[in-house]
Each structure stands twice: as structure tokens, then as C-alpha cells.
Structure 1
Amino acid sequence: MQYLNERNTNAIRLILKSPANDNFTNSLYEATDFITDDVVNPSVIEAEDNYHEMLWIASLFMGIFLIFTTLVLFWIRKHIIVRINQMIEYQEAIASGDLISRIDHDITGRNEIDQLMLGLQQMRARLKEMVSAIRNSSTTIYSGVQEIAAGNNDLSSRTEEQASALEETASSMEQLTATVRNNTESAREVTQLVMSTADIAVQGGEHSNKMVMTMTDIADRSQNW
């Protein structure tokens, strides 16, 4: 170290060329070979073996994970996606007015999908009942409207008959009024004729009295002669 600190290259060169240094170098090489052959190489081989073992284990776990993922996806498709598609088709059928179709699936579980499907079936049943009630009410209302229309037609025909009867009555009244008017005029004419006849009769009576008086006077005169 002193030579190194003093940078005495000659002394360092002499030391390196000395037999002691050669022995040290050989010992160092031997130690290095020992470490390489007995420590490093077995460790490298063991590390490679561990690496291949871990790689095999990782591949095994990857295969198991892929199989498990495939099974999970298949289960999800069978028990979730298929049912969701069934619910979508069922909702579309209900929206289009089909209240008869049912879901082709037995609802036995209590998971969320089964509860949704059960709710859809209950909604369909309620809608069917409501539509049936509305249809029955519409039929009843239609029957009532038909009865009202028939009553209106009957009332209209009766009104027309009454109007016709009133027209006939008015015509009869006009005829009766004309007849009464004619009878009144005839009675007036008869009255005038009777009065004229009475005047003529009175005048005839007066003429008869005058004739009687004249004839009596003539008779008296004839007796006096």
C-alpha cells in the first residue's frame, strides 16, 4: 500500500515479478476455479433447474387458469348471458303486445337473474289481467253505446212519428177550422135567408090583411047597394 501511495512503479513491478506473487496468483486462480466449479456453476445449474421448474409450474398454473377462465365464461354464458338475452326477447315480446308467451326457463333459483325473470313474468300476468279487464270494460261500454244508439234511433223514429201525427193533427185542425168557417158562413147565409123569408112572410101577411080588408069593404059596399 505504501508503494501504491508513493506511486513507486518499479517496486510494484518487482513485487509482481517475485515468486511469492506467482504463488499468490496461482493460489488466487485456484481459489477462483474452486469457487467457479464448486460454488458458482452448481448454483447456476440449480438456478437454471429452478427456473425451468418455475417455468413449468407457471405454465401449469397458466393452463389451469385458462381452463378455469373458460369454464367460468361458459358458466356465465349459460347462466347469465343466455338468460339476459331471454329477458330481452321477453321484454320485446311484451312491448309488441304478446302477453301469452312465457319464458322457456324454470325459475328455481333465488339469484338476481331469476328474480328479474320472475318479476317479468309477474308483470306480464298483471298486464294480461289489466288488458282483459279493459277489453271487458270496452265490450260493456260498446254494448251500452249500441243500446244508447238503438234507443236514440227508437226515440228518433218515435219523434218522427209524433211529428207526423202532429202534422196530421195540424192538417186536421186546419180542415176543421175551414169546415167551421164554412159552416159559420152557411149559418150566416141561412140566417139571412130566414130573415128575408120572415120579411117576405110579414109583407105577405100585410098584403093578405089588406086584401081581406079590401074584400070586406067591397062586400059591405055591395050590400049597401
Structure 2
Amino acid sequence: MNNFKIGQRLGLGFAALLILLVAIAGFGLRQVSKLNDRIEFLTSVDEGKLLALSKTQFAVGLRAIAARNLVLVSGTNEQKGDIALVTSAQKDIDAGIAQLDTLMKGEGSSQEERQMLDQLRSLEATYLPIATRIGQLATSQQTEAAKSALVNDCMPILRQVIAHIARFNEVLRANSTANVAAADQAYELAKWTMLATSLIALLLGSAIAWMLTRSISVPLQQAVTVAQNVSAGDLSSRIVVKGRDELGQLMTALKGMNDSLQSIVGEVRHGTDTIAVASDEIKRGNMDLSARTEQQAGSLQETASAMEQLTATVKQNAENAQQANQLAASASTVAAKGGDVVHRVVNTMDSISESSRKIVDIISVIDGIAFQTNILALNAAVEAARA
């Protein structure tokens, strides 16, 4: 189902529900049509047969009364009325039997009903010649013969006809009651069948709705969970893409975004590690530079001390030179005082000359120290610029 787009799934789901609705409506209409046919059958066929038999029964009784009166009366005018009544009753009997025959040709009539109709025809076929002969005897004024035929021949057949019609009526009513019961049973069956069909349709509709809801809500919930994890900084979510619908495309996009973020975070982490290593190296370099700077500071301090000592020495030498000059002046003054004094002066001059050479050496040492100091300061500036 996830391979179908959401619109297609919704369309199929609603189409299935509409098909179920149409199926239930069609089944209900079919059952209602069957019940209507059954009701029409009960009202038109069963009631028609009972009505036709009732008319036939009434005509048989009317015919029997007219035949009896035809025998009992002696006037021609009175007999004409009875004869007309017998003739009309006979037509009603024939019409009732014909109507019964027509109604029993259709569906819903039992074999017993047809057999009883055939028996009624047979009894009528037996009764009619006897009744006709009695009518002829009565109209020819053969009253005794007519009475004898009425009592001995006609009455036994008439009793059979009346009894048969009564049994026939019971059979028709029993069958009508059975048909009503069948109609009630068909109604109950239709009712429970429609209820069962509606329940099945409800279950199917619920299942379709549940499947549609899950096919949409579950991927959406997964997408929301992934988005929440990403917003919280958790990129370890396992994203499984199922289907090629819009939600599948959304999960694919989320998976690509999550993978891209993982790659970016990995690159940033690698860069951070590299920066940390570089920072550690810079820290060690700064520590080395600080140590060398302290060392250079110590050297500079030693140099300053040496310079102070050199200054003191130079000052002392200057004082010595001044004293030498004074001595030289004194020597010039007292040169005449003797060779010993000259010899001392010469020695003193040698000492002065030796001290001057030492001063020159010391100045050279100071120049070298100053040059090294400049070199160290330049190295310190270069290291500071690198840091």
C-alpha cells in the first residue's frame, strides 16, 4: 500500500466504502423487492384463491337453494325465477373454478391445492347432470320424480361438494398461513442478513480506515520523531524508508538530511580535533618560547651584570689612567730625580699600556655581547610573530 500515493490510497479507500454502500443498498433493495413480491403474492394469489373459493361456495349454496325451490314450487312463473337463479349460480361456480385454475397455474400453489381443484371439478361434473335432470323434471311438473332425484341423487353429491369446498378452504387458509410465515421468515432472514452485511461492511470500512490512517500517521510520526531528534542534536536515528509515496519521499529527504548532517558534524569534529592538536602544539611552542625567553632574560641579566662590572672596571681604569697621567706629570717633573724613578715610570707606563689593551679587549667582548643580545631579541620577535 505504501507504493501508492496518498491521494490514490484515499481514493481507493473511499471507492471501497462506496462500493460497500452500493452493495448494501442493492442487497437491501433486492430483499425489499422479494418481500414486496411475497406480499403481492399473499394479497393477490392467496387472498384471490380464498375469495374465488368463497364465491364458489356461496354460489353452490345459492344453486342448491334455487334447485330445492324449483322442486317445491309448482307455478311456472316462480320456477322461472329459480331457474334463472340456478343458471346465474352455475355461472358463478364456473367462473370461480376458472379463477382458481388461473391462480393455481402460477408460482406458490401446492400440489394438494391442484388436486383438490381437480376433485372439485370432478364433483361438479358429477353434480351438474343430476341438477340438470332435476330441473327438467321440475319444469315438466314431475314433482315426485324431481323430489326423489333431489333426495336420492342430488343431495349426496351436494354434501360431498360442500364438504370438499370446506376442506379446500381449510387447505387454502393453511397454505396462506404458511406463506405468511414464510414471508415473516423471509423478512427476518432479510433483516438479519442486512444487519450481518452492514456489520461486515462496517468492519471492512473500519479496517480500511485503520489501514489508511496507519499508512499515513505512522510515517508522519516517524518523521516527527526524526525531526525532534535532529533538533535535539541526536543524529543517530535509524531511518527506514518504506514505499514510494509522498511520505516515502519525505522520509528519503529526512534520511538524506540526517546523513548530510552526520557528514558535516564528522568533518567539523575532525577539524576541531585538528585545531586542538594545533592549539596543543602552539601551547607547547609558547611554553618553549617562554622558557627560551626566560633563558634569554637570564642571559640579559647576566650581561647587564657584566656590563655593570665592565663599567666599574672602565671607571677604575679611567681613574687609573688619570692617576697615570698624574704620575706621568709627576714623572716628568721628577725625571731628573733619578733612574729608579724613571724605571718605575717605565713600568707604570707598561702597566698602563697593558690595562689599555685589556680595555680594548673588554670593549670587543661588550660589542660581541651586544650583537648576541640583538640576535636573541630578533629570534624572540620571530617566535612571537609565529605564535
* TM range, smaller chain: 0.5 to 0.7
The aligned amino acid for 1:141 is: I
Residues 78-117 of structure 1 show CA distances to partners (whole Å, capped at 9, x for unaligned) of 42323332333333333333222303x4x34211222222
Residues 103-158 of structure 1 show CA distances to partners (whole Å, capped at 9, x for unaligned) of 3x4x3421122222222211111110010011011111222222222222222322
Q: Is residue 152 from structure 1 mapped to residue 152 from structure 2 by the alignment? A: no
Q: Is residue 109 from structure 1 mapped to residue 253 from structure 2 by the alignment? A: no
Partner of 2:207: 71
How many residues align? The count is 165
Partner of 1:21: none
Following superposition, the deviation at residue 71 of structure 1 comes to 1.0
Distance 2:223 2:321 in 1: 101
Distance 2:336 2:202 in 1: 152
Following superposition, the deviation at residue 177 of structure 1 comes to 1.4
Partner of 1:99: 235
Q: Is residue 124 from structure 1 mapped to residue 277 from structure 2 by the alignment? A: no
Distance 2:253 2:338 in 1: 123
Q: TM-score, normalised by structure 1?
A: 0.59
Q: Is residue 191 from structure 1 mapped to residue 325 from structure 2 by the alignment? A: yes
Distance 1:199 1:93 in 2: 108
Partner of 1:139: 273
Partner of 1:162: 296
Following superposition, the deviation at residue 203 of structure 1 comes to 5.7
Deviates more, 1:194-203 or 1:67-76: 194-203
Q: TM-score, normalised by structure 2?
A: 0.36
Following superposition, the deviation at residue 60 of structure 1 comes to 4.5
**Candidates 179, 190, 193, aligned match of 2:313:** 179
Percentage of matched positions with identical amino acids: 38
Distance 1:74 1:201 in 2: 137
Q: Which runs of 5+ in 2 are unaligned?
A: 1-42, 49-179, 340-387
The aligned amino acid for 1:137 is: G
Residues 150-192 of structure 1 show CA distances to partners (whole Å, capped at 9, x for unaligned) of 2222223222222322222222112111101101111221332
Residues 32-70 of structure 1 show CA distances to partners (whole Å, capped at 9, x for unaligned) of xx99x969xxxxx9x999987875565345223311222
The aligned amino acid for 1:151 is: G
Distance 1:77 1:49 in 2: 41
**3-state SS of 1:192 partner:** helix
Following superposition, the deviation at residue 74 of structure 1 comes to 2.9
Change (3 A) 1:53 1:204: closer
Following superposition, the deviation at residue 76 of structure 1 comes to 2.7
